[in-house]
A and B are shown apart, each in its own frame.
Chain A
Amino acid sequence: MSVDRVSARGPQMSRRNMLAALGVAGAAAASLPVLSACGVGGKPSAPNGASAVSGGFDWKKASGQTINILQTPHPYQLSYQPLLAEFTDLTGIKVNVDLVPEADYFTKLNTELAGGSGKHDAFMLGAYFIWQYGPPGWIEDLNPWLQNSSATNAEYDFEDIFDGLRTSTRWDFVTGNPLGTGGQWAIPWGFENNVVAYNKAYFDQRGITKLPNNFDDFIQLAVDLTDRSENRYGISTRGSKSWATIHPGFMTQYSRAGAVDYTFNGSELIAEMDSDTAIDFTKKWIDMQHRAGPTSWTTYDYPNATGDLGDGKAMMVFDADSATYPKNKPGASKEAGNLGWYAGPAGPDGNYKTNLWTWSWAMSANSRNKLPAWLFIQWATGKESMNKAVEGGTYADPVRKSVFDDTFKRVAADQFGYLEAFETVIGSSKIQFTPQKKFFDTTQNWAVALQDIYGGDDAASRLRSLAKTNTSKVNL
């Protein structure tokens, strides 16, 4: 700090300098509050509320109350939007909906839950988030609610929801333990298989009738379809710096190739992104992006990938089937009516392992309206509302077997290859990731490594570095 005056008592700071220093410190300090202003360090979670509900089941049990729900704009959300009035008529509960775009949705949710405000009683949640929101007690275990006949309608039929989906939303948060153990932290609402959607009209025009059944042929087809001078490229996948880059097409094909993310040695998880199989597959995946992917692959999220398919720029997309499904609806995109689906290339042993994503409903542990929130979740994931949502035409892959077999098969019958692709993969479709509490940190690191390799880094050494970092992180 500069000193302007020197007196007999030594250097002294002038008042002006003192004020200037305080001003600078204040201005610099203003750069810090972003973290603690987020409300980090919120109050402890409230106890489970299911035991407080007694007597016979009645949809009107919380009549007159109001709940706040948080959603992200999505075909599922759009399908249920017109049905919310029916819920209010049925229960007498008013529903306030807040919508946040998907790019910011989980940031908003993280911040809100960490602050413990309980502002939103129920919210859309992906299964992986349970691994991070469960341990600090931010979300309510819904199993006691399911077991309480005073709170749950006898006709609800939870077992009608596909077993793999019910399993994917349960975990006991013990490292090394599989999914399906512990609490029921969310109720599946809609799910996505990651398969290949393609421009069938263009394929027909080119006389391509046989779809590749192994990854090398798939890459070759993507390259053959690419013509940069016509602004047309073969395959679109996510590539942005996000965990979401890993989970759709990449994790699906990675699993089919025989690679895994972690192994458990009895005491700790060991990252396997640097196994020979993983390195070989990753090289091929990145090579495919260079030769047949979008030019700015490292910025691609799912709206970019599926948007390019709908615009006729991408000839294939390896992503969620439910994200490409709406693009084929009349008026939804330039290529509407021209799209088809298939399961994608099989693994070397012919397997169709597929990574799934499930949108689910979860309840805030700090909600002050737990009963009405549970009634809402129960209604939204119930047979009646789901049938109506599917009839709307943009809701793909209902989580209930009864709704899928009846309504959805009828509605989706004219979507070329969609149901066949679904039937091909459904037996092997599950969360292919190993459950662990540092999922987002370590999976984003994985995406960063893919971007680095795309930028020219050596795949083997970069993946070895990734595996070393992730092994140390997941076992902290």
Chain B
Amino acid sequence: MTTQTPKATATRPEQPATAPSRVLPEIPTWRRNLRPYLLSIPALVIVIGILYPFVVGAYYAFLNYAAVNPNPHFVWFDNFKSVLGDQVFWSSVRTTAIFAVVATAVETALGVGLALLLNRSSFIGKIFEKVLILPLMIAPVIAGVIWKLMFNPQFGILNHVLGLGNTFDWLSSTTALWSVILVDLWIFTPFVAILVLAGIRSLPKEPFEASEVDGASWFYMFRKLMLPMLWPYILVAVIFRFMDNLKVFDHIYVLTAGGPGVATRTLQIGAFEDSIINLDYSRGSTYMLLLWIIVFITARYLVSVLGKAQRRAAGAES
């Protein structure tokens, strides 16, 4: 940074002043040196706020800490052996994987489709664009409560409208997982649609105009032009949704509490049951640490795929 001194101004009186020069006070060296550290404090606080509970949680995973055992000691990998040897854990892994993969895939497909439809600037499209945001304005817990009422066979609107009588159970052991995925789609498909729509609107028009002049079909343009350029935006949506879906808890807990049986018991619900309901903190922490490993690996993979897609979209890679 340079500052103009009064003396320097006085040596050039012929130059009309276009704007009054701002004279900044001299900053002491110690303050200048301190500035980077002060600026990094908020980030540091946030990092500590995340890392401290993480480290404590990871530490608990190696203890036998529970409410009924308030003086724990190290049991090293006993919790991991116990959890990994429990078929309920593997059932939770399976449920979490099915939920995350199916919900993310369908949300992405529907979101991209909606974004393409909304990109056509029609009056209805503009209204729909605003209405689409509404589910995102509702907290997943509230959405869960609303859908639980709608799913109710006795007085819920779904069975009534679909003519299913009062004997179809949306939350039975065979239907519950698909019902909670349906609720997730309702809440989060607009998120993908809005993200992709923003991407579509930021794309350059020239390649599309040139292709149109050359007589390319809409599908050809979509496949060869739009999709490759749009791919980084879609991947960002996929990363957000997939990580979020691996950690899903709120609306599932409200709808089924992980039941019937273990039909919708995801890893987060398993951790909640063990640590908060059963007060077995070490076992709950073990669940969370294993979930962290899964989230870390998948997120790392998806971020590397996103990097490649971004470079490809920018023409840096073929």
Interface residues of A (CB under 8 A from B): 1-2, 20-21, 23-38, 40-41, 106-107, 110-111, 114, 132-133, 135-138, 228-229, 231, 240-242, 294-296, 298-299, 308, 313, 437-438, 440-441, 444, 448-449, 451-452, 454-457
CB distance B57 to A298 under 8 Å? Answer: no
| Assembly CA distance A26 to B52 (angstroms) | 11
B280 near A: Cβ within 8 Å?
A: yes
Chain A to chain B contacts (Cβ below 8 Å), 19 pairs: A24-B300, A28-B243, A28-B296, A30-B50, A32-B288, A34-B272, A35-B57, A35-B275, A35-B288, A36-B285, A41-B65, A107-B276, A111-B276, A228-B165, A241-B257, A295-B153, A438-B278, A448-B259, A455-B172
- Within 8 Å CB of B276, what residues of A? 38, 107, 110-111
Residue in A30, A240, A296, A451 with the greatest tally of chain B CB atoms within 10 Å: A296
- Within 8 Å CB of B233, what residues of A? none
B284 near A: Cβ within 8 Å?
A: yes
CB distance A295 to B275 under 8 Å? Answer: no
CB distance A35 to B292 under 8 Å? Answer: no
**Beta-carbon contacts under 8 Å, B251-303 to A:** 255-263, 268, 271-273, 275-281, 284-285, 288-289, 291-292, 295-296, 299-300, 303
Taking the closest CB of chain B, its distance from the CB of A137, in whole angstroms, is 7
User: Known contacts being A33-B54, A240-B259, is A20 close to B273, with CB within 8 Å?
Assistant: no
- Within 8 Å CB of B292, what residues of A? 28-29, 31-32
| Assembly CA distance A31 to B249 (angstroms) | 11
CB distance B288 to A451 under 8 Å? Answer: no
Give 1 or 0 for each of B56-85: 1 = CB within 8 Å of chain A CB: 111010000101101000000000000000
- Within 8 Å CB of A135, what residues of B? 67-68, 70
Residue in B154, B171, B172 with the greatest tally of chain A CB atoms within 10 Å: B154
CB distance B68 to A437 under 8 Å? Answer: yes
CB distance A240 to B257 under 8 Å? Answer: yes
The interface residues of chain B, by DSSP majority, are classed as: helix
Interface residues of B (CB under 8 A from A): 47, 50-54, 56-58, 60, 65, 67-68, 70, 148, 151-154, 165-174, 243, 246-247, 255-263, 268, 271-273, 275-281, 284-285, 288-289, 291-292, 295-296, 299-300, 303-304, 307
- Within 8 Å CB of A299, what residues of B? 148, 171, 255-256, 259
User: Known contacts being A1-B300, A241-B259, is A29 close to B170, with CB within 8 Å?
Assistant: no
CB distance A35 to B271 under 8 Å? Answer: yes
CB distance B296 to A25 under 8 Å? Answer: yes
- Within 8 Å CB of B153, what residues of A? 294-296
CB distance B304 to A2 under 8 Å? Answer: yes
Besides A135-B68, A295-B169, A455-B173, 8 other CB < 8 A contacts?
A1-B300, A31-B246, A35-B53, A136-B68, A229-B165, A438-B68, A441-B278, A456-B173
Taking the closest CB of chain A, its distance from the CB of B69, in whole angstroms, is 8
CB distance A455 to B261 under 8 Å? Answer: yes
- Within 8 Å CB of B261, what residues of A? 241, 448-449, 451-452, 455, 457
- Within 8 Å CB of B257, what residues of A? 240-242
Taking the closest CB of chain B, its distance from the CB of A5, in whole angstroms, is 14
CB distance A444 to B273 under 8 Å? Answer: yes
- Within 8 Å CB of B167, what residues of A? 228, 295
